[in-house]
């Protein structure tokens, strides 16, 4: 029997205020429904971040917590080693800003270095983006390409040449009002929506699992999922 797929939830105590740890549950259930074992670890600052997992999840958080998280992750180095090995990362909101090159905090716009895993930089936006967001996933067709979630951020994120947008905004703000949402480089994905985003968008969950494990996952029919997706789409379209 092969080893379980290992999913690491990074720093819940700092990056846990938006319920993004639900993303780990979705990954675990979608593997288990296919008969694949999954182990979820919760790693806190001060713990050594294992660098041998397949998927790493970072969630949203407040500015102060975000600074503590980026410092601890930079000092640990485990996330960089994991990405170098080809592990997949899903970084949401504060997590997205952390994996970028830099972000600013406070009213004096202090610049904080990010981890540099994604070529994006974040500064303070003029107005906070709060509300439902609807996007189309780049390079995808069909119903799975609709991504929905809830955004709540004061960050204005600009992509550099080494990152590609995850999606195009149909409703909401996304990165910086330029019509793009999130960023992708290799196996690292950054995105603003909570929801949690993988609960609302199971195709993105499977994509992340495939990125991290290299497994060819069979399609999965989950009762009620199509109806729930249709409900969310109708709600955001108004």
Q: Tell me which of 29, 63, 102, 186 binds ligand GLN, using CB under 6 A.
A: 63
- Catalytic residue check, 153: no
Length of the chain: 238
Q: Which is nearer to ligand GLN, 23 or 54 (CB)?
A: 23
- Please list every residue from 75 through 104 that binds ligand GLN, using CB under 6 A: 93-94
Does the footprint of ligand GLN cover residue 193 (CB under 6 A)?
no
Q: Indicate the annotated binding residues.
A: 128
Q: How far is the CB of 122 from ligand GLN (least distance, A)?
A: 7
Q: How far is the CB of 204 from ligand GLN (least distance, A)?
A: 18
- Is the backbone peptide bond immediately before 196 cis, with ω within 30 degrees of 0? yes
- Three-state helix/strand/coil letters over 89-147: EEEECHHHHHHCCEEEECCCCEEEECCCCCCEEEEEEEEEEEEEEEEEECCCCCHHHEE
**Among residues 188, 195, 186, 163, which one has the least CA distance to residue 176?**
163
Radius of gyration of the chain (CA): 17
Q: How far is the CB of 151 from ligand GLN (least distance, A)?
A: 8
Q: How far is the CB of 103 from ligand GLN (least distance, A)?
A: 8
- Catalytically annotated residue among 93, 153, 176, 207: 93
Binding mask 153-182 for ligand GLN (x = CB under 6 A): xxx---------------------------
Residue recorded with tokens 């979630």: 149
Estimate to the nearest angstrom the gap between the alpha carbon of 117 and the chain centroid: 13
Q: Which residues pair with 9 in a beta bridge?
A: 42, 57
- Catalytic residue check, 194: yes
Q: Which is nearer to ligand GLN, 58 or 163 (CB)?
A: 58
Centre a 10 Å sphere on the Cβ of residue 1 and count the other Cβ atoms it contains. 4
Rounded to an integer, what distance in angstroms lies between the CA atom of residue 71 and that of residue 45? Answer: 9
Does the footprint of ligand GLN cover residue 210 (CB under 6 A)?
no
Q: Indicate the annotated binding residues for substrate.
A: 128
Q: Tell me which of 60, 190, 196, 212 binds ligand GLN, using CB under 6 A.
A: 60
Concatenating the DSSP letter of every residue in 58-71 gives E----HHHHHHHHH
Does the footprint of ligand GLN cover residue 62 (CB under 6 A)?
yes
Q: How far is the CB of 146 from ligand GLN (least distance, A)?
A: 22
What phi and psi values does residue 4 have, to the nearest 5 degrees?
-60, 150
Binding region for ligand GLN (CB under 6 A): 18, 60-63, 66, 93-94, 152-155
The set of catalytic residues is: 93, 194
């Amino acid at each position: 029997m092969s080893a379980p797929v290992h999913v690491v939830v990074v720093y819940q105590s700092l990056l846990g205020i938006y319920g993004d740890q639900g993303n780990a549950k979705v990954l675990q259930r979608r593997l288990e429904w296919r008969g694949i074992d999954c182990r979820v670890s919760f790693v806190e600052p001060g713990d050594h971040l294992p660098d041998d997992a397949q998927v790493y999840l970072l969630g949203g958080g407040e500015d102060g917590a975000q600074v503590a998280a980026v410092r601890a992750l930079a000092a640990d180095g485990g996330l960089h080693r994991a990405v170098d090995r080809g592990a997949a990362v899903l970084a949401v909101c504060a997590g997205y800003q952390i994996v970028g090159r830099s972000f600013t905090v406070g009213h004096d716009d202090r610049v904080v270095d990010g981890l540099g895993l994604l070529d994006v930089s974040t500064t303070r936006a003029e107005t906070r983006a709060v509300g439902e967001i609807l996007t189309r996933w780049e390079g995808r067709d069909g119903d799975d390409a609709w991504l929905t979630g809830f955004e709540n951020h004061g960050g204005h994120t600009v992509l550099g040449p080494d990152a590609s947008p995850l999606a195009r905004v149909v409703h909401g703000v996304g990165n910086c009002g330029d019509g793009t949402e999130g960023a992708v480089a290799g196996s690292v994905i950054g995105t603003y929506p909570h929801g949690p985003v993988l609960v609302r968008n199971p195709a993105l969950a499977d994509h992340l699992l495939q990125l991290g494990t290299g497994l060819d996952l069979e399609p999965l029919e989950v009762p009620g999922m199509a109806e729930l997706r249709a409900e969310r789409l109708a709600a955001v379209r108004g």
